[in-house]
Amino acid sequence: MEQPPANRYMTQPKSRPPTFALFGTQLKSLPEDYLRYLQNALRESFRLGGAPIRLLLRTSKNPYADK
C-alpha cells in the first residue's frame, strides 16, 4: 500500500527570487492546487505581493526500498 505524501519541513535557501525548499516523501504526487495553496500562503504570510515564488521539492532515498 502506497503512503500519501508527507511534508516534513520547509526552508528558504534563496531570497531573490523567493525560493522555498520543501522536504518530505513522495512530493511529486502532491496535487498542483496544494502547491498553489502553499505559494499563496507564503505570499500572504511574508507580504510578497505578486513576486514569483519558487518551490523546490526535495525527497530522500528510501533505504528500505530494495529490501
User: What CA–CA distance (Å, rounded) separates 29 from 23?
Assistant: 13
The answer to whether position 2 is within a domain reads no
* Cα dihedral 14→51→42→2 (10° resolution): -80
Domain count, the chain: 1
**Domain extent for 39:** 7-59
For residue 12, being part of any structural domain is answered with: yes
Q: Residue written as cell 505570499? A: 43
d(CA 60, CA 52): 26
Q: What is the pLDDT along the chain (67 residues), one digit of tens a residue?
A: 566 778 899 999 999 999 999 999 889 899 999 999 999 999 999 999 989 999 999 998 878 878 7
pLDDT of residue 2: 62
Considering the entire predicted model, what is its pTM? Answer: 0.81
pLDDT at residue number 42: 96
What one-character-per-residue DSSP string does 17-45 give? TTEEEEEEESGGGS-HHHHHHHHHHHHHH
Report the CATH number at residue 12.
3.30.300.20
Whether residue 1 lies inside any domain: the answer is no
